[in-house]
Amino acid sequence: EAGVAQSPRYKIIEKRQSVAFWCNPISGHATLYWYQQILGQGPKLLIQFQNNGVVDDSQLPKDRFSAERLKGVDSTLKIQPAKLEDSAVYLCASSPTRGSYGYTFGSGTRLTVV
Amino acid sequence: AQSVTQLDSHVSVSEGTPVLLRCNYSSSYSPSLFWYVQHPNKGLQLLLKYTSAATLVKGINGFEAEFKKSETSFHLTKPSAHMSDAAEYFCVVRDNSGYSTLTFGKGTMLLVSP
């Protein structure tokens, strides 16, 4: 079974630029999550999708962050404009349904904002 | 609301000695609890999970954890550390209501010396 795919693996941008990350979850997984992991901290949930609908985006900084999951499969997370404090690893995860225990995490995208 | 406190940011052991990583949780509802491991530049890997069945949970690579409701704890143990166990470990709680999202602790870095 293929895992959760994320790209790019690394990204360096200047502050105030925009950036986008892509995630392809495990086939058939209805629930998709984006987490932000700042160095030295545990991952923090940014947004959760159930199919193509948003379930929880209460911790997403909506003035600069946006995410979509068109057709309920792939997802894109965008930051515009980026700030220095956005430097982090952005993790995508998926699970079969919202209540299941089978979470699978991708390897993440490491973003550095200079 | 739910939260996790990992009581040690770093734990150092010698190879062959026991490992104890401590975790306390807070949850408004009957929780599920997980331990994940993250090796450098690698994705998160599930070690074990508690889902309201047996309170002593056995995971991969010889790790186990005991759910103690009276102490709101879910400590991770291993009888004998191996060099390959050196990594960061995250305790995670999920309250089984609402969105069923995962809340991560800040992590404990396990250092293993020869």
What does the H/E/C string look like for B24-63? EEEECCCEEEEEEEECCCCCEEEEEEECCCCCEEECHHHC
Q: Does the pLDDT at position B100 exceed 80?
A: no
Q: What is the pLDDT of residue B50?
A: 92
Picking from A75, A70, A45, the residue whose alpha carbon sits closest to that of residue A60 is A45
User: Using one digit for the tens of pLDDT, what is the confidence trace for B26-36?
Assistant: 987 788 999 99
Q: A93 to chain B: which residues are within 8 Å by CB?
A: 44
> Of A41, A93, A105, which is closest to B106 when you measure between CB atoms?
A41
State whether residue B49 sits within 8 Å of chain A by CB.
yes
Tell me how far CA of residue B41 lies from CA of A56, A89, A106, B81, in angstroms. 28, 10, 11, 21
* Contact (CB<8Å) B105/A42: yes
B6-46 tens-digit pLDDT:
999 999 999 999 999 999 999 877 889 999 999 987 889 99
Token pair for B11: 């734990």
Question: In this model, does residue A1 exceed pLDDT 70?
Answer: no
Phi and psi dihedrals of B60, rounded to 5? -80, 160
User: How does residue A70 score in pLDDT terms, banded at 50, 70 and 90?
Assistant: confident
Q: For A97, which DSSP code? A: S
Q: What is the pLDDT of residues A6-65, one digit of tens each?
A: 999 999 999 999 999 999 999 999 999 999 999 989 999 999 999 989 999 999 999 999
Q: Which residue has the higher pLDDT, B53 or A58?
A: A58
Q: Which range among A57-66, A69-78, B88-97 shows the weakest confidence by mean pLDDT?
A: B88-97
The nearest CA of chain B is from the CA of A4 a distance in Å of 10
| A67 and A77 Cβ atoms separated by less than 8 Å | yes
Please list every residue in chain B whose beta carbon sits closer than 8 Å to the beta carbon of residue A91. 43-44
By percentage, how much of chain B surpasses pLDDT 90?
78
| Contact at CB, A43 and B44, closer than 8 angstroms | yes
Closest by Cβ to A42, choosing from B32, B41, B106? B106
Task: Report the residue of chain A nearest B6, measured CA to CA.
Answer: A42
- How confident is the model over A84-102, as pLDDT tens digits? 999 999 999 999 887 777 8
- Residue linked to tokens 């209460």: A58
The per-residue pLDDT for B113 is 97
Check residue B43 and give its pLDDT: 84
Task: Name the pairing type of β-strands B108-113 and B10-14.
Answer: parallel
**N-to-C CA span, chain B:** 41
